[in-house]
Amino acid sequence: MTLSSQNFDVIIAGAGIAGCSAANIIAKNGYRVALIDALPESKIGMKVCGDGVALHDFYESNIHPPTKKEIEREVDEIKFFTNSQTHIFSIMGKGLTVNRYHFGQRLLKDAQDQGAQLFSKRLVTSALLSNGKVLGINTKQKENKTFFKAPITFDATGIVASVRTSLPSTLYINESVNAFDTGIGYREYRQLDKSFGNFCAIYYNWDVSHGGYCWIIPKRDNLVNTGILIPSSRNVDANFLKNRFSSFLKINTHLKKSKCLKSEIGLVPLRHPLLNAVSDGLISIGDSAFHTNPLNGYGIGPAMLSAKIAAETAMFCLEKNKFSRDDLWKFNYDYMLKCGKRYTTNKIMKDFIQTLNRVEAEHFFKSLGIKKYYKSGNFIKELSNPDKIKLLYSLSKRRSLFNNFLKLIIKIKSVSSHCDKYPKSSLKYNIWLNELTNKF
């Protein structure tokens, strides 16, 4: 079977959070949308995840917040702990832990209700390319090969980025992710003997999760989503992760008497977003464009926001009937200013944290505890001047940590102001990128 170009205005490869969110907005505005996923329809939404999401991200992306069946727990706080499990500081704010499956199914239903057409059980194999332009995608269903055509294609296939990575390197957006810039997570659903509080818990313990963290996120009743996320490397496999996680189980008082109901492994990008996520006829969104917070792998909010920005860009281009890289560039610019800048600088912070040894890491996190309650993850920005002095004083007790921290702040400031100058057109991108590379 062959579907011709007349059929669709936009093809969306991947019906995860990013794909369904984008499909919903575009279809709602009367455009013909094809949403394509490798999973059967009944399995869409199943994903290894911590299930935590900040409430404000739904409002910023114009996505209806989860309803009763999708909500597992309302939380008010993320509490951070060190090795000894002492509370160091908290980020305050309303959040939800979701039933990822019900939430994913609802996003899919919303998109379908708006008129998006789902093609499930269909593997996207590559971009359909002609003279350097993306004209759609190639797909496979058992022995059946089909291509879908539209003036704009979205790659929303998650970390595998099946469309974007099939492009030749001359198109600049086929960048792959280094192992070290990927987080590998092992997650268990556990039944506790009593209910966990209405907060998410993050544990920094370099003996257990060097360069990463363990988490406990409360679900309904006595159930929790708990796991370990560390930078991927050659030595890290499922057994390694399970062993590390079992040492966390032994020392965590909440989990000591708990029972494992289910366990899974998943990957998440932990790097800065793709600095250019568009090509002629293609926009990459969500995990496929590394739209996550590199400090912790938080990706639901960024996926929804990048979907909204991409949908607006696509509709703007459909109005003008222009689909070149330069026409789609608006997506890069808007995403960079909305949250790309923050996640680019967070990548520098993440690299810094990963170089710390156990003693330095504990000292660094405890020093951030100079302020007990933060409103966001912008720790340094939120400190008053006297608190900044206290932080520097505390860090100065470890000379190399202190020196590296000063270098980090200078680098973050320099990269942040460079991100503010992100070019409005693709023509000046290479100059901008070279300057950024020098700063990195």
Ligand X SMILES: Cc1cc2nc3c(=O)[nH]c(=O)nc-3n(C[C@H](O)[C@H](O)[C@H](O)COP(=O)(O)OP(=O)(O)OC[C@H]3O[C@@H](n4cnc5c(N)ncnc54)[C@H](O)[C@@H]3O)c2cc1C
Which chain residues interact with ligand X by CB under 6 A?
13-19, 36-39, 44, 47-53, 123-124, 156-158, 160, 162, 185, 187, 229, 266-268, 286-287, 292, 297-301, 303
| Cβ-based nearer residue to ligand X, 273 or 281 | 273
Question: Least distance from C-beta 385 to ligand X, angstroms?
Answer: 33
Q: What sections of 52-203 are H helices per DSSP? A: 56-60, 100-113
DSSP for residue 339: I
For residue 440 the two structure tokens come to: 């990195």
| Cβ-based nearer residue to ligand X, 218 or 398 | 218
| Cβ-based nearer residue to ligand X, 215 or 405 | 215
| Cβ density class 398-415: b for 16+ within 10 Å, e for less | beebbebbeebeebbebb
- Separation CA 151–CA 379 (nearest Å): 43
Query: Among candidates 1, 39, 48, which has minimal Cα distance to 20?
Result: 39
Question: Least distance from C-beta 212 to ligand X, angstroms?
Answer: 10
| Cβ-based nearer residue to ligand X, 117 or 416 | 117
| Cβ-based nearer residue to ligand X, 83 or 120 | 120
Question: Least distance from C-beta 10 to ligand X, angstroms?
Answer: 16
Question: Least distance from C-beta 289 to ligand X, angstroms?
Answer: 8
CA dihedral 400, 405, 407, 413 (to 10 degrees): 180
Sheet bearing 282-284, strands edge to edge: 117-119, 33-36, 10-13, 152-155, 282-284, 278-279
| Cβ-based nearer residue to ligand X, 18 or 356 | 18
| Cβ-based nearer residue to ligand X, 61 or 367 | 61
Other beta carbons within 10 angstroms of residue 87's beta carbon come to 13
| Cβ-based nearer residue to ligand X, 160 or 380 | 160
- Separation CA 22–CA 12 (nearest Å): 8
Question: Least distance from C-beta 224 to ligand X, angstroms?
Answer: 12
Concatenate the DSSP letters of all residues of 365-378 into one string.
HHHHTTSSEESSS-
Question: Least distance from C-beta 158 to ligand X, angstroms?
Answer: 3
128 contact partners, CB below 8 Å, separation of at least 6:
134, 135, 136, 137, 138, 147, 148, 149
- Asked if residues 140 and 122 have their Cβ atoms less than 8 Å apart, the reply is yes
Question: Least distance from C-beta 15 to ligand X, angstroms?
Answer: 5
Question: Least distance from C-beta 186 to ligand X, angstroms?
Answer: 7
> Is residue 318 classed as helix, strand or coil in its secondary structure?
helix
